[in-house]
Every structure is written in C-alpha cells, then in structure tokens.
Amino acid sequence: MLGPYDAGKTSLMASFFLQIANGHYGALPYRFASSRTLYGFQDLVDRANRWSGKQGEQVVEHTPKEEPEDPGRFLHIGLRPSEPTDDRHLDILLTDVAGEWIEEWTRRADESARRRLAFVPRSDGFLVVVDASALLGPSGGKMDAAVGRLIRRIVASAGEREGRGLALVFSKFDRVIDQIAPPEETACQERSAWGRLGKVTGAIWGALERAREARFHTSPFAVSAFPRPLHQGQPAGVMAPFTWLMALADRRDRWPRPSFPIPHGASPFQAMRRSEAEP
C-alpha cells in the first residue's frame, strides 16, 4: 500500500478489514481465516469507531515515522478461498509505511529509504492511493506529479516479473462524488471517462502507461473508505481493488486433486470420499 502522506492508506486498510470482519466480501472469493496482527487491526478499528465524521479530524492515527532501523508496519490477514474444494490458507501481508518515507524513497533512493521499502521488489501487488479531492484542489498538479513519480519508481524497483497488478485508488471519492460520477467498470480504463479527474492526472496516466509497458496490469478504482462515521454509512468500492489484485496475485497453476480408489465395503469415512469423487 503506497501513496503520499494523508492519501487515506491506513483508512483503506482499516475499512478493508472491517468489511471482512463483517462478512461483506463483495466479489472477493475468500473468507477470513486468521490474523497474526489482530491487535493492530483492533487498534485501527477502535480509532475509526470513535471518528465523529468531521473533516480534518483523523479517522485513524497517522502512521508513525518509525525509528530509522524499523522496517515499518505490516498487517497480516489469513484467507481461505470460498471455493469449498480449495483448502489452501493464504497469508496476505499489507504494508503500512509512513507517507513521508514513501515520498523520500520516491525522491532519491538512498540506502536507508531503500531498506525501509525493501519489500517493494518482493510484493505480489501494489495499491497506489491518491486523494481524489486533493487532485481537484489547488495543489492537484503537484500531487499528480508526485504520484506519477511514485508509480514510475515502483515500476523501476519492482524488477522483472510478468503480470503483477498495480491498482490506482482514487480515495475519499465521497468528497468529489457531486462533481464526478465514477465510470462503469468497462470504461474505467479510459482516462476520458474520469471527467475532470482524468484531466488533472496526466502524469499519473503516463506513469500507468509506463507500468503496462513493464508488463504490469493496471486499473483505476474509485473508493470511499470512510464517507461518514461508522454507525451512519457504508464504505463504497473498498473491496474492488483488493479483489482485482488478488485475482492477479493468486493465479498460479493448481495441482490436480489426488483421487484415491475406494475399496469395496469401505468404512463410512472412506465412503464419504466417493460422494466427492463421483459428482
């Protein structure tokens, strides 16, 4: 999860976890199975729960700039495919690094910044978060340029690997919804379908083009993680970028399921296999 300071990265993570915890999977074909960082999520959710909805008040605490040697915060979610015959357990690690560090890493790759973002080449997918309302604001041009640079930096340091996903998340979409209607899924790849937001994001679209040349898959998403205080409204579009990324990250070839011959006069437990084997 990468993006500038205040883009809404931590909020998106908290919202994603809340959706999963509430069973609102949307099209995500997985179920919650475990977390090694439940306290981390609990902490995010507690803060989000106390949010009054006032603009300017923090939904979640700003991710602390850790000690120079600290690699940053990672949150873990274990998922199981909802397909009943697929009994794998998948470990998802979400990275939450302070936006200031990401900016520093984008500007110049000094050794310490590289160490803090050492996970980038090993990542299976990228969520680049950018505040849609900030893009339409007075310093939108600077924001566009910064996020364009960030995407190019990700592409340059991610190394050669076929077909990784890079999702561009236009966050806080509730703030711009009266100016821009998010495009249909079939049209979202067209810059022109994003109206004014498309017009002010030339550097970002250029960088996405560059990412595709480097064999990334890219897709933009409109997301509203915390449109209102938690008890007043549901988020919108939160699951879509995760669903899209997971489809790309989890598409390796499957081993065929072994089938065992069932002996005649088998025990009831062995016979159970037969009903599975003979649909």
Residue 11 lies near Mg ion (rule: CB under 5 A): no
Q: Which of 10, 95, 219, 224 binds Mg ion (CB under 5 A)?
A: 10
HSE-up of residue 188 (Cα within 13 Å, Cβ side): 18
Site map (CB under 6 A) of ligand GDP, residues 145-184, x = contact? --------------------------xx-xx---------
Hey, which residues between 60 and 99 contact ligand GDP (CB under 6 A)?
A: 60, 62-63, 99
The entry of ligand GDP, Mg ion, none that residue 227 binds, CB within 5 to 8 Å by partner kind: ligand GDP
Minimum Å gap between C-beta 10 and ligand GDP is 3
Cβ closer to Mg ion: 7 or 180?
Answer: 7
Cβ closer to ligand GDP: 62 or 215?
Answer: 62
From the list 70-78, 108-116, 218-226, 249-257, the region that binds ligand GDP by CB under 6 A is 218-226
Task: Give the interface with Mg ion as residue ranges (CB under 5 A).
Answer: 9-10, 63
